[in-house]
Amino acid sequence: MKTILFNLTKPELEKFVTDMGCPRFRATQISEWLNRGAPDFSVMKNLPEDLRNKLDETARTLPVKIVKKLESSDNQTTKFLLELNDGEQIECVLMRTTYGNSVCVSSQAGCAMGCKFCASTLLGLKRNLTINEMFAQVLVAQWELRGDKLKDIKPNGDPNNNDVSHIVVMGTGEPLQNTENVIGFLEKLNSELNISWRRITVSTCGIAPQIRELTKWGRPINLAISLHAPVDELRSQIMPINNMYKIKEVLDAAFEFSESLNRQLMIEYILLGKKDENGETYIYNATEEYANKLSELMRGHNVMVNLIPWNAVDERDFASISGNAVHRFQDILIKNGIHTRIRRERGADIGSACGQLRLKNAKK
């Protein structure tokens, strides 16, 4: 297996280059390239060509390597299929938005949670990602944005800014099954890339004790709870984690996080239909009754309910519901005084739901 230079400490990198017969300052040059997200050695133009070739034989730059890159038709979303050093594959997505450049990061290879609507869990959990494997996903996106150019002096929030400004830990995996590394990754983001806590979002399917750990950690990030159903019976059918932590326990922990850190809580709610035996679509978790039950759970709390029209996953037996049904559900929440918005689908033309790219590649 090749040595991953990004994983080496400064003295280790210096030893690596001096063992190759090179002067020590080469380590500083290489390190600058690594911190910009250089995908390989060919881009390191200030190194002699024979050194670049030698490095290529024995080493890799980052702990992730791009296997496939897909661009949405509007050029606003880039999706990467990345390979880790042991051959496992993960996804990460760069979204260029009016408020900045956001990266959706994976926290595990695969996922053990078994949510019935999700593609990422179909092959089970492979393993947790390391701090550097998460950080390198951000560097891949950073390189995509500005290549070998040094940092532009434009404030975050400027649509022409070519820096990553927002992070969502919402890719493959359940971040709170890998809490220690996720916290290490977020601390590194904040200290090394200067990404503010308020521009970081961690999404969980609801591992209540780990939500309480985030509260103890005390950083004012955004917390998103994948709720997807307002009653335990329904939620347990689509999210097995609900058999371990019921809705009340999860929301109590989440409201405590939101209140103690003074952050608005994000509630994620995928709107699902299903097919009956005649092939007709019926509304599954987006009925009027469920909209009212969801409103009761949210009332009096500082929350934003993100409604997500379902993305088709071939292997799952759910169906999309009509735009009218989506708006009817939202209207009930609004009438009940709940803050809500419909999440715009991004990059639907390049692989729709999270996990699909990895899944499709794995089946080849």
Q: Which residue ranges make up the site for ligand SF4 (CB under 6 A)?
A: 111, 113, 115, 118, 120-121, 172-174, 205, 226
Segments of the chain assigned E as strands: 3-4, 59-60, 64-71, 77-84, 89-97, 100-104, 108-110, 125-128, 164-169, 200-204, 222-226, 265-271, 273-275, 281-283, 303-309, 318-319, 340-342
Rank residues 189 and 308 by Cβ distance to ligand SF4 and give the closer one: 308
Q: How far is the CB of 224 from ligand SF4 (least distance, A)?
A: 11
Q: How far is the CB of 89 from ligand SF4 (least distance, A)?
A: 14
Q: How far is the CB of 99 from ligand SF4 (least distance, A)?
A: 24
Calpha distance 35→191 (Å, rounded): 13
Among 14, 91, 144, 268, the one annotated catalytic? 91
Q: Do 161 and 148 touch, CB atoms closer than 8 A?
A: no
Q: Which two tokens stand for residue 318?
A: 């759910």
Q: Do 82 and 322 touch, CB atoms closer than 8 A?
A: no
Calpha distance 330→352 (Å, rounded): 22
111 is catalytic: no
Cα–Cα nearest to 99, from 196, 215, 177, 231: 196
Location of structure tokens 């994000």? 266
Rank residues 144 and 268 by Cβ distance to ligand SF4 and give the closer one: 268
354 is catalytic: yes
Q: How far is the CB of 103 from ligand SF4 (least distance, A)?
A: 17
Helix residue ranges, H only, 193-278: 208-217, 232-238, 247-261
Location of structure tokens 């949405």? 72
Q: How far is the CB of 311 from ligand SF4 (least distance, A)?
A: 12
Among 92, 104, 115, 354, the one annotated catalytic? 354
Catalytic positions are 91, 354
